[in-house]
Amino acid sequence: MSANTKQAPLWTKSFFMLIFANWFVFMGFQMLIPTFPPYIQSLGASSLEIGLVTTLFSVGAVFARPFIGYLLSFNKRRPMVLLGVATLLVLTILYPVTQIIFIFLLFRLVHGLAWGWTSTSNGTAAVDLVPNSRIGEGMGYYGLSVTLSLAIAPSLGIYVYQQFNFNWVIVISTLLCVTSFILMSRVRFQTPEAIKQTERKDVHFSYFGSLIEKRSWYPALITLLTTFAYGSIVTYIVIFAQERGLEHIFLFYLFNATFASVSRPFSGKWFDRHGPKAMVSVCAIFAFAALWVLSFATSDIYIIIAGILFGIGYGSMLPSLQAWILSKTTTERRGVANGMYFSCIDGGIGLSAIVFGFISTFVSYGALFQIASFCFVAVSLLTVLAKSDNKQGQKPNHTKKVAANE
């Protein structure tokens, strides 16, 4: 690898705008998630129907991604990204008119399809803007937009819903999506030359082949385990706080976001220099410790420590796993690999809600976090046992990336 390649610029104007645009669209999406259950409950939904709010969305997202990966193998990035964001915007605006539970649940399924489209297209467009020699660092910064939205948006959505109403949540989410669309329209996307020279008739579609990138299956499995453990927090941390009488559970999200942000530049560079094994295995240990500290929380200091540990661990691990998955595939299969990565996230969290929901009937929520923590032990062990890669995995990804501005 030449010195010029190592010094390839990362912070282009387009990459900067893409990160912020992605942050806005994720914020708009994530702030809706915790408000949907109480909203549909107010419409008279049963416990089963409330559960379907998450399940149908996950089904839609996972189902859509193989098709999106296939389309990304021969389509330019700009129309794919803009169509996805525009669809999310329209769906968000229409949510308040869904006063019938069946229609609302149908919207959740369609929303999942649209989210599968958007998250896969955005991530693929991002990796196309990142120099191959800096993929770990670049995707780390891109992943930061996701991490920060996960840390901030749910609390914001809950606050707006409690202080005002569901319609105001929709208004703010809509404004965030509009901002994202405007920024995305200003990005000078780059489509790899190999993609531009590929026509639809040249690509054979196989649903299974577009669902799974065989070269990247091992880090994808680790991603599934990682998000399965994280699902216990997403689903039960607020209920856990009520059980323990913890009034400032938002501190977990605040310190998680802060330390994920601080550690991200260092973790991305570490990945590029040393590969994924040490990075992911060490981060898994931090996340394991975070869940145990959280499980014993009786005051704010426990919450803060847990947030710091989880921010360093999970906050650095997830983008490293994405970079690992992408580095093991070829340019033509990046859309499929990226779709598989996000499907593992949605699938892990969705499956976690079902499994831990069953377990929670037998144990306390603190014990639930302790049980979930052993997923991170498995993550660390599987990472250590992984076959050694040559720095970033696949030789094709070290070749010079030829792309044209759209």
Residues 233-259: pLDDT tens digits?
877 777 788 788 887 777 887 788 788
Mean pLDDT of 214-223: 90
Residues ≥6 apart with Cβ < 8 Å to 375: 225, 226, 228, 229
Q: Residue 147 above 80 pLDDT?
A: no
Asked whether 182 and 17 are in contact (CB, 8 A), the reply is no
Higher pLDDT, 288 or 260: 288
pLDDT in tens, 65-93: 888 878 888 888 899 999 999 999 999 99
Q: How far apart are CA 326 and CA 138, in angstroms?
A: 12
Residues ≥6 apart with Cβ < 8 Å to 11: none
- Which of these ranges, 137-151, 155-169, 212-226, 280-294, has the smallest mean pLDDT? 137-151
| Structure confidence at residue 402 as a pLDDT band (50, 70, 90) | very low
Mean pLDDT of 86-106: 89
Closest CA to 313 of 362, 350, 363, 263: 263
Q: What is the pLDDT of residue 186?
A: 92
Q: What is the pLDDT of residue 81?
A: 93
pLDDT in tens, 317-340: 888 888 888 888 887 787 788 778
Q: What is the pLDDT of residue 395?
A: 42
Average per-residue pLDDT in the chain? 82
Q: What is the DSSP letter of 74?
A: T
Decide: residue 29, CB within 10 A, 0-12 exposed, 13-18 middle, 19+ buried: buried
pLDDT in tens, 175-194: 999 999 999 999 998 888 77
Q: How far apart are CA 54 and CA 346, in angstroms?
A: 10
Higher pLDDT, 114 or 335: 114
Six token digits for residue 2: 């030449």
| Structure confidence at residue 154 as a pLDDT band (50, 70, 90) | confident
Q: How far apart are CA 35 and CA 40, in angstroms?
A: 9
Six token digits for residue 176: 């965030």
Q: Residue 29 above 70 pLDDT?
A: yes
Mean pLDDT of 338-351: 82
- If one counts every other C-beta atom within 10 angstroms of the C-beta of residue 297, the result is 22
